[in-house]
Structure 1
């Protein structure tokens, strides 16, 4: 292994250590292995919100018997935005529109386990995006 390879390996380990410390083990694992990522074809509900930080988040739902059967997300934001959106979709599965309306940023952080204080707005953005998807669903399917 040459010096550049060793440097790059060490740098990647430092990045992973910092991410693990910032996001906790569950958040770090989701960052490394995203779930629910991608734009859904023909969703029953679609929410799209641009946060004050400049990140845009989208959440997509398919419903069955008035409960979320499938969900996915897309974001152009940072790792914390992606992790927050992924856990927000997970939190939404099986819920009715009324139950979705009760999801908060604190609920998202609770499922992740932790987020850096400077990134906690990402969890709130995920909750707001769920609310936008619920509004879309209620306007178009009720």
Structure 2
């Protein structure tokens, strides 16, 4: 069993690099934060879905999390997108793209070419979450 785990770890490091492997293994920002008040999701042609959960207070992301039903690339991309969002004002989130997610992970070589679309799924889920914040704010403004 130990040999099998070592082989999986070696293959993962080869595919994602050491930083990607550590993120895959520890998965920071995994799950929905207790104070999350907005969420977004994006599903790729591969069938993977990434959900991003945001806690937004006074137009600033104070906490974030993610979930995915997909592969390791989806997990590390969701994790990075959530990390990139924390501390940002909502209008800054629009600048976070799939390229930004890949760069945060160490550049395009940080994951197999066939999986790089996961970075865009994560960025799109993040934009959907912020979009839900703006939709709610617009609906509230209409009421007032």
Task: Give the TM-score, by structure 2 length.
Answer: 0.88
Matching residue of 1:60 = 53
Note the alpha carbon deviations across 1:43-98, whole angstroms, 9 max, x for none: 22210121111011110101122111000111100111001000110011111121
Count residues in correspondence. Answer: 135
Q: Is the contact made by 2:32 and 2:64 (CA closer than 8 Å) also made in structure 1?
A: no
4+ runs deviating over 3 angstroms = none
How far apart are residue 136 of structure 1 and its match?
A: 0.4
Q: Which has the larger radius of gyration?
A: 1
Distance in structure 2 (CA, Å) of the matches to 1:34 and 1:68: 19
How far apart are residue 40 of structure 1 and its match?
A: 3.5
Matching residue of 1:14 = 7
* Structure 1 residue runs without a partner (length 5+): 1-7
**Matching of residues 1-142 of structure 1 within 5 Å:** 8-41=1-34, 43-113=36-106, 114-142=110-138
How far apart are residue 42 of structure 1 and its match?
A: 5.5
How far apart are residue 22 of structure 1 and its match?
A: 0.8
